[in-house]
Amino acid sequence: MKFVVEVDDFYLDEESELAPALSNHVVRSVVDQIWERINKKVDEAIRVTVQAKIEQELTAKINIRIADCFASEKITLRDGKEVLISDYIKDRFQNNTGWSSPQESIVKIAKEYGNEMKKRYDYFYANQIVQQMHTIGVLREEVFANLIEGKKAQA
């Protein structure tokens, strides 16, 4: 073990002798450090043991509660009312969760995705037209550069 003794905290009374006072200061400092280290180790050991015990008991209680729910096919709500699990899930899906109609939500997401794909296709098609016009010499170089840069800025 390594101990560091600060002599900045050491002071000598006028009546005391240096050697015994310094010795007592070193002994007190080392003992304090040992107690501090022991306390840290004990606290950590207690914390780990208590945490393991609590996790074990909570896991057992949770597993029992889940098994009871599936066996009875019922759950108890916060207000104490018992409801069938299937009714509870159906109610969650159809009420205020933002998924009032799963089919409508899926259709909405699909339409948004379709619109995004159309925009990308329109951009690609317009880009191809500009490229072909430039290739055959219909567009001047400045116009072509402005159109391509304009398209890149929009994308």
pLDDT confidence of residue 143:
84
Which band of pLDDT confidence, cut at 50, 70 and 90, is reported for residue 25? Answer: confident
pLDDT in tens, 37-58: 999 999 999 999 999 999 999 9
Structure confidence at residue 120 (pLDDT): 83
Given this model, what pLDDT does residue 38 score? 95
The pLDDT of residue 61 is above 90: yes
CB burial of residue 10 (10 Å; 0-12, 13-18, 19+): middle
Task: Report in angstroms the alpha-carbon separations of 70 from 99, 120, 125.
Answer: 25, 48, 56
Average pLDDT over residues 115-136: 86
Confidence of residue 65 (pLDDT cuts 50, 70, 90): confident
What is the average pLDDT across 133-137? 86
pLDDT for residue 121 is more than 70: yes
Compute the average pLDDT of residues 94-110: 71
Q: What pLDDT is recorded for position 68?
A: 86
Top pLDDT among 147 and 112 is at: 112
Per-residue pLDDT at 47: 95
Our CA dihedral for 51, 54, 57, 62, rounded to 10 degrees, sits at -100
Q: Give the CA radius of gyration of the chain.
A: 38
Rounded to the nearest integer, the mean pLDDT of the chain is 82
